[in-house]
Amino acid sequence: MRVFICADIEGVAGVVTRQQTAISGFEYQQAREWMTAEVAAACEGAMDAGATEIVIADSHGEAQNLLLDGLPDQVQVVRSWPRPLAMMQGIETGPFAACLMIGHHTGVHHADGVLAHTFAGLTIAGLRLNGNPASEISVNAAIAGHFGVPVTLVTGDDFTCQHARELLGPGVETVATKYAYGRLSARSLMPAEARRRIKAAAADAVTKAAGIEPLQPVTPLAVEVQFKNHWNAELLAYLPCFTRLDAVTIGFTAEDAPALARTLKFITSYTPVP
């Protein structure tokens, strides 16, 4: 049995500030150790439940956060950018019994949650799919669903867990690694306790994966991206696939979730210069 893991850092126990998530920032090295340990705990739980192979997408920042020597020998890790499926690269090598999302966070439309953003916190002010606010969890779950893979575990702060249950249903396992007081503050579990809970939840999530339905949104997807400045919208509107909806918002249609992933990765990677 094969399991896929999408790994982020903002939802990891102890992580509360942008500095901890940036390569040159205060406590980044410690944060990546916590991230690696939480992913390793998820791997251990999945293997306890019968997983024989695990593919992990390192999906934060430069996508070179996980310390490979801290992971089990049975795993494979997707690293660095660019890649067409973005945070979910590797899931196309299925089949996979389950997708586990470790260290995740709420989206830009959420008022609550530590380090809430959607894909590019300095660029994107809003993202809607078929008229509904979207988060990284919802987009990544849709990509998993395209490949027939259910998301069965999400870890992060308490608001992230609430969002996951609302989006994916009561069957999804969640682990609250911390309890958000604001965007840059939280009451956190100790890393060892977070790992203990993640390991147990991962085992449960893999065990019951066959009874969980993959998320499959209605396609094609009508997408709206709101930026934090005019330049992105203005330049993208030069391309015939985009429509400028207002000063800072563009719209486009994606035929499916992988097409959405490719377009969003382009949008968040190119750098307009005023």
Please answer whether residues 155 and 11 qualify as being in contact, where contact means their C-beta atoms are separated by less than 8 angstroms: yes
Mean pLDDT of the chain, nearest integer: 97
Total domain count for the chain?
A: 2
pLDDT one-digit tens code per residue, 163-185: 999 999 999 999 999 999 999 99
- Considering the domain boundaries, does residue 128 fall inside one? no
Neighbour-count burial for 219-234, b at 16+ CB within 10 Å, e otherwise: bebebbbbbeeeebbb
Q: Which domain holds residue 259?
A: 221-269
Q: What is the pLDDT of residue 146?
A: 98
- 200 and 151, same structural domain? yes
pLDDT at 265 over 70: yes
Q: Indicate whether 145 and 57 sit together in one domain.
A: yes
119-124 long-range Cβ contacts below 8 angstroms, 24+ apart: 119/86, 119/264, 119/268, 120/268, 122/228, 123/227, 123/228, 123/232, 123/268, 124/225, 124/226, 124/227, 124/228, 124/268
What is the band of 270 on the pLDDT scale with cuts at 50, 70, 90?
A: confident
Give the pLDDT band (50/70/90) at residue 268: very high
Instruction: Return d(Cα 20, Cα 10) in angstroms, integer.
Output: 9
Co-location of 203 and 230 in the same domain: no
Confidence of residue 274 (pLDDT cuts 50, 70, 90): low
Same domain, 151 and 249: no
Q: Examine the domain organization and report whether 48 and 172 are in the same domain.
A: yes
What digits encode the pLDDT tens for the residues 180-220? Answer: 999 999 999 999 999 999 999 999 999 999 999 999 999 99
Q: Are residues 66 and 39 in contact, defined by beta-carbon separation less than 8 angstroms?
A: yes
Residue 130 lies in a domain: no
| 216 in any annotated domain | no
